[in-house]
């Protein structure tokens, strides 16, 4: 039987010390060079090294497992985030248990309770909720939580839980401003019905861009009505198709559409085709998230990119340091900037094209 690789084997192969490898596994990599981190990660992969869980638990009192609660991996953006979180956690010797909550507070609480009963003391919440009250008693009992995709405040009051997010208001603004710069003045906005901070913020960015350009807000160009076919994270493309069909059927239809996320945007493209029109010649469409499917779509989807790997890295780093009691007290909020990705689904409106 082959001998299980030890941390000293990793150190020898990486050409570094055991303490340096240990520091990386425990999330203390802030003073390491990128070259050192890459050498250690490569050695871990080559040796298939796994920290000894029982020994670590006896030494630290911490189960090396964290929970990740997402709305639904049926939305590729959540699946991509789950992948990135797992990669960041594995480097630190942590495993990830995934739960799909459908943005239901009762399901979130049940998952949290079950994970806590299993000895798990760190959870990442990626549902962008308007309220966090259903987690407070677990926090008082010793649970560490980092919230993804929320921001620093709820209703103008700073939240008392660590958070990591993309700047969702800027994301909505960038998508809308791009259409304005192309010459569009009748710009529709489509979103799901689920009330979340990220949806509120992205629509706020859409309104900010219109106001900045002197374009009056037109409620007839905003479709964020309840979906008739169920939970809209699971049915995002169908909802985008339905919402876009609603907008395109109006007498003064938009020449461009900003979608809350890429799946809504792909659904909007389907609605354009349903009506015998083309993207972007007749209707331009811009999404938010930059999922892989959008790059493979024809025409390739113009979108706003979320730095998923950086979001996951920051989230896991915050949580792992909480679990090691390195960050008692002070709350941290990290907000990363999105970037516009110009592709083929957005162009000037037809009247500009001539």
* Model pLDDT, residue 27: 61
Q: What is the pTM of this model?
A: 0.81
Closest by CA to 209, choosing from 225, 187, 233, is 187
Task: Give dist(CA 327, CA 299) in Å, integer.
Answer: 47
* Model pLDDT, residue 197: 83
- The full length of the chain comes to 354
Closest by CA to 147, choosing from 129, 169, 134, 133, is 129
- Give the CATH number of domain 168-306+340-353: 3.40.50.2300
Q: Which residues contact 315 (CB under 8 A, 6 or more apart)?
A: 85, 88, 124, 146, 148, 164
Task: Give dist(CA 134, CA 94) in Å, integer.
Answer: 25
> Is the separation of the CB atoms in 78 and 102 below 8 Å?
no
Could you name the CATH architecture of 56-166+308-337?
Answer: 3-Layer(aba) Sandwich (3.40)
| Per-domain residue ranges of the chain | 1-50, 56-166+308-337, 168-306+340-353
Task: Give dist(CA 235, CA 72) in Å, integer.
Answer: 10
* Residue 124, CA distances (Å) to 111, 202, 248 in order: 12, 22, 39
Task: Give dist(CA 128, CA 109) in Å, integer.
Answer: 15
* Model pLDDT, residue 58: 46
User: Tell me, which fold does domain 1-50 have in CATH?
Assistant: 434 Repressor (Amino-terminal Domain) (1.10.260)
* Model pLDDT, residue 353: 45
Radius of gyration over every alpha carbon of the chain, rounded to an integer in angstroms: 23
The residues of the chain scoring below 50 in pLDDT are: 1, 54, 58, 229, 353-354
> Is the separation of the CB atoms in 266 and 238 below 8 Å?
no
**Could you check whether 56-166+308-337 and 168-306+340-353 share the same CATH topology?**
yes
Task: Give dist(CA 141, CA 135) in Å, integer.
Answer: 10
């Amino acid at each position: 039987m082959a001998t299980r690789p030890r941390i000293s084997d990793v150190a020898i192969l990486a050409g570094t010390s055991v303490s340096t490898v240990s520091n990386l596994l425990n999330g203390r990599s802030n003073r390491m060079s990128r070259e050192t981190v890459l050498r250690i990660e490569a050695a871990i992969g080559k040796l298939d090294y796994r920290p000894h869980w029982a020994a670590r638990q006896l030494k630290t009192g911490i189960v090396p497992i964290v929970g990740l609660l997402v709305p639904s991996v049926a939305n590729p953006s959540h699946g991509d985030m789950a992948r990135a979180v797992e990669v960041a956690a594995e480097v630190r010797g942590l495993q990830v248990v995934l739960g799909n909550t459908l943005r239901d507070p009762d399901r979130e609480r049940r998952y949290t309770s079950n994970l806590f009963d299993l000895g798990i003391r760190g959870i990442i919440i990626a549902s962008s909720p308007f309220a966090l009250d259903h987690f407070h008693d677990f926090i008082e009992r010793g649970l560490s939580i980092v919230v993804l995709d929320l921001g620093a405040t709820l209703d103008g009051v700073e939240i008392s839980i660590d958070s990591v997010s993309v700047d969702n208001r800027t994301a909505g603004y960038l998508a809308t401003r791009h259409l304005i710069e192309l010459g569009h003045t009748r710009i529709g906005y489509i979103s799901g019905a689920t009330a979340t901070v990220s949806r509120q913020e992205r629509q706020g960015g859409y309104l900010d861009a219109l106001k900045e350009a002197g374009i009056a807000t037109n409620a007839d160009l905003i479709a964020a009505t309840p979906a008739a076919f169920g939970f809209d994270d699971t049915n995002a493309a169908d909802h985008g198709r339905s919402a876009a069909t609603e907008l395109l059927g109006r007498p003064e239809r938009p020449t461009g559409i900003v979608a809350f996320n890429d799946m809504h945007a792909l659904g909007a493209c389907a609605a354009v085709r349903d009506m015998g029109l083309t993207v972007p010649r007749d209707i331009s469409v811009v999404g938010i998230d930059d999922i892989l499917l959008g790059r493979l779509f024809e025409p390739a989807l113009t979108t706003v990119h979320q730095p998923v790997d950086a979001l996951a890295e920051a989230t896991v780093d915050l949580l792992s340091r909480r679990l090691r009691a390195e960050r008692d007290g002070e709350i941290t909020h990290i907000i990363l900037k999105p970037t516009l990705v110009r592709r083929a689904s957005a162009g000037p409106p037809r009247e500009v094209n001539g």
